[in-house]
């Protein structure tokens, strides 16, 4: 059976629908950076998603090519994730989507090296006839965080964030959002096929103890 990150690392992907504290280890990602409204039809965000999946599936299917990755095992491509921020805003202002800066990411298995990643970018670009040069090999160690499962449209996320903030205040923690520690979302639903009221999104914020 293929390795499924959501099942093997449930504490990071299948979080509770109430706030909880987690310590997130160092993780490697395929990443594409950009800015602007993610809902813009044919915009930068949608282009970035295409690049991410092109590279991700090239790596997943690498065992059917001449490129051999040491330690490779079959796996399910992890869910889409995103780090979000806006200049001059602490947290996220959902009413100003055009002001978003984002890093869209898909997790990489630990056995994928940067050299394997570069092979996948080149191969995906050639096979898919898609410029994947914007993709980068990104390592993030989030450390101490608060997270919870948000159920419903993305525009309703402020209510879940408020619950997380109250939980922190009641338990001796504070948000630690900064230029390097960012608002993080993990998308467990396919927004193209699932009604908004059933969307599942893990919301994660970096924190510090008071």
Of 70, 3, 171, nearest to 163 (Cα)? 171
Q: How many residues comprise the chain? A: 210
Q: What percent of the chain has pLDDT over 90?
A: 93
138 in Cβ contact with 31 (< 8 Å): yes
Of 176, 142, 119, 189, nearest to 28 (Cα)? 142
pLDDT at 91 over 80: no
Assessment of whether the complete model's pTM goes beyond 0.85: yes
Residues 161-174 pLDDT 10s: 999 999 999 999 99
pLDDT at 50 over 80: yes
The single residue listed with the structure tokens 């706030």 is 19
- Alpha carbons 19 and 167: distance in angstroms, whole number: 7
- Alpha carbons 164 and 42: distance in angstroms, whole number: 33
pLDDT at 29 over 80: yes
């Amino acid at each position: 059976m293929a390795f499924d990150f959501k099942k093997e690392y449930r504490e990071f992907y299948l979080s509770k629908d109430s706030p909880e504290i987690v310590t997130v280890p160092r993780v490697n990602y395929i990443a594409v950076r950009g800015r602007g409204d993610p809902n813009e039809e044919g915009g930068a965000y949608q282009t970035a998603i295409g690049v991410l999946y092109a590279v991700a599936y090239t790596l997943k299917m690498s065992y059917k090519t001449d490129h051999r990755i040491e330690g490779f095992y079959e796996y399910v491509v992890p869910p889409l994730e995103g780090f979000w921020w806006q200049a001059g805003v602490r947290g996220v202002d959902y009413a100003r989507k055009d002001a978003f800066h984002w890093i869209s990411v898909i997790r990489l298995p630990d056995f994928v090296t940067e050299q394997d990643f570069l092979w996948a970018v080149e191969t995906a670009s050639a096979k898919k006839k898609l410029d994947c040069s914007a993709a980068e090999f990104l390592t993030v160690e989030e450390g101490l965080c608060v997270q919870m499962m948000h159920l419903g449209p993305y525009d309703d996320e402020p209510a879940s964030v408020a619950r997380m903030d109250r939980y922190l205040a009641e338990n001796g923690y504070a948000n630690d959002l900064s230029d390097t520690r960012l608002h993080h979302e993990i998308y467990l639903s396919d927004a193209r096929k699932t009604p908004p009221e059933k969307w599942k999104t893990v919301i994660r914020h970096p924190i510090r103890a008071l």
